[in-house]
Amino acid sequence: MQYCSECAGTLEKKEIEGHQRLVCPRCGKIYYQNPLPVVAAVIIGKEGRILLTKRGLPPGKGRWALLGGFVEKDESPEEAILREMKEEIGIEGKIEDLIGVYKNESELYGSITVIGYKISSQSETYTLNEEVKEVRFFPSDRLPSIPFSSHKRILEDLWRTRKSPIPTVDIIIGKEGGIILIKRKNPPYGWALPGGFVNYGESLECAARRELKEETNLEAKGLRQFRTYSDPARDPRFHTITTVFIGKGEGKGKAADDAEQLKIFKKGEFPSKLAFDHKKILEDYFKGGYSNA
């Protein structure tokens, strides 16, 4: 802004209440620059998958993000997010919970306040408008890169607000006299045992076999439970409980899914820093007299 909307005087900057604000020296009107209110929705589908939309407009055009938009005049944030759902993907929704309120800086809009909601969908038939190029559900542990820091924090806080720990599996797989580790594509980064989240309606053993196949292309043979680890700090994102399995891998190993690289490590040659609590898991494994599963 350069001119006063009341008297057309040229605006000047002046320190008021500890902030540099635009002021009209002619009529004295002060122009407060408040953050724009924005709403965002976490819509959870089958097996805990998260709905993301590929944006058709800036900012973040062509990138995956949570569904959302600006709060209109005379509209509550709750009304705004349900309206945005109807406009952008053509479905009705029901608000389940407020996840949190976040500050975000946008190159296009400046300072914005983002209000995140957990919402249940009343339909799975989508009708997209010009703001959305595509809709897809992603596993919560394999989300694509999201351009907005507020959306990342909303997703992190969504899982922290869960009242129960999240079940996961990890697999110690022996092959060629060593143990297979994967280099993770997604945070927490680093080398780790193959593994992931247990889907709804899936047994622990089935989850272990599925995760191993998805990440390494290997089939698990002779799979059996080793131990369970439940330290609330084992995963920096949220509280998880993992059941560790032992087995042998058959087939040709290949890094896939959220595994950037696959490598076989011999005892005493493991990376000094492993993701999660996998260093302790492997130490317990070798203390127990195991060698290469």
Q: For residue 125, is pLDDT > 90?
A: no
Q: How far is CA 12 from CA 20, 27, 200, in A?
A: 10, 12, 59
Task: Identify the weakest region by mean pLDDT among 94-103, 117-126, 145-154, 178-187.
Answer: 117-126
190 DSSP 8-state letter:
S
**Strand, coil or helix: what is 88?**
helix
Q: For residue 126, is pLDDT > 90?
A: no
pLDDT for 145:
92
By CB neighbour count within 10 A (0-12 exposed, 13-18 middle, 19+ buried), where does 180 fall?
buried
Phi, psi of 278 (to 5 degrees): -70, -25
Beta bridge mates, 94? 120
Asked whether the bond before 25 is cis by omega within 30 degrees of 0, the reply is: no
Does residue 173 or residue 19 have the better pLDDT?
173
- Non-local (6+) Cβ contacts of 242 within 8 A are 167, 168, 169, 170, 195, 228, 229, 230, 234, 276
Q: For residue 119, is pLDDT > 60?
A: yes
pLDDT for 257:
81
DSSP letter for each residue of 264-287: EE-TT-S-SSBSTTHHHHHHHHHH
Query: Which domains does the chain possess?
Result: 1-33 (2.20.70.10), 36-160 (3.90.79.10), 166-287 (3.90.79.10)
Q: For residue 213, is pLDDT > 90?
A: yes
Phi, psi of 80 (to 5 degrees): -65, -45
